[in-house]
Amino acid sequence: MSFIIRQAQQTDVPVLSILFSDLSGHTVTEDDVLDRLKLVEASAIDELFVYEQDGTVLGTLAFRIRENIEERSRYGEISVLIIKEEARNAGIGRTLMEFAEQHAKALNCKGTWLVSGFGREEEAHKFYKRLGYTMNGYRFVKPI
């Protein structure tokens, strides 16, 4: 089985709609995904990749550069990682994470980081810890 990791394209919108819906637990329409793709295309720091195996998209990774003013450094932020449910535990998530780490390194980043919500301890958090990620804080949010 051969795979590629490539930039997401408009032809990926239908499968990305399913992937984002799976992650969020509610319907993410194709129009919503198209808007997200347009946002990524207009951004100087955001990228959206897909993992394609034998012509089928099985996962997606959103990546952005984060400048850390406090220590004057750059980090690669993995802002989205989604693998199709039927394709999980096949090494795709690990491959996408390794891709993100290498991509960050190529962009002169000091490391990578991500945010993962509460309630994901059983799968996602254990996965990230196995890859060497450690928890170092909390994210505080206030709607306005």
Structural domain count of the chain: 1
Over 70: is that where the pLDDT of 121 sits?
A: no
Residue 41 falls within a domain, yes or no?
Answer: yes
Instruction: Look up the CATH number of the domain holding residue 58.
Output: 3.40.630.30
The boundaries of the domain holding residue 107 are 3-130
Q: Could you tell me if residue 117 is inside a domain?
A: yes
Query: Do the domain assignments include residue 22?
Result: yes
> Which residue matches tokens 């799976």?
22
Q: Is 114 helix (H, G, I), strand (E, B) or coil?
A: strand
How far is 58 from 55, CA to CA, in rounded Å?
9
Residue 14's pLDDT is what?
97
Q: For 69-104, how does the pLDDT look when each residue is reduced to its tens digit (9 = 90+)?
A: 888 899 999 999 999 999 999 999 999 999 999 999
Is 62 part of a structural domain of the chain? yes
* Separation CA 76–CA 31 (nearest Å): 27
With respect to residue 138, please indicate whether it lies within any of the assigned structural domains. no
Q: Is 96 exposed, middle or buried (0-12, 13-18, 19+ CB in 10 A)?
A: buried
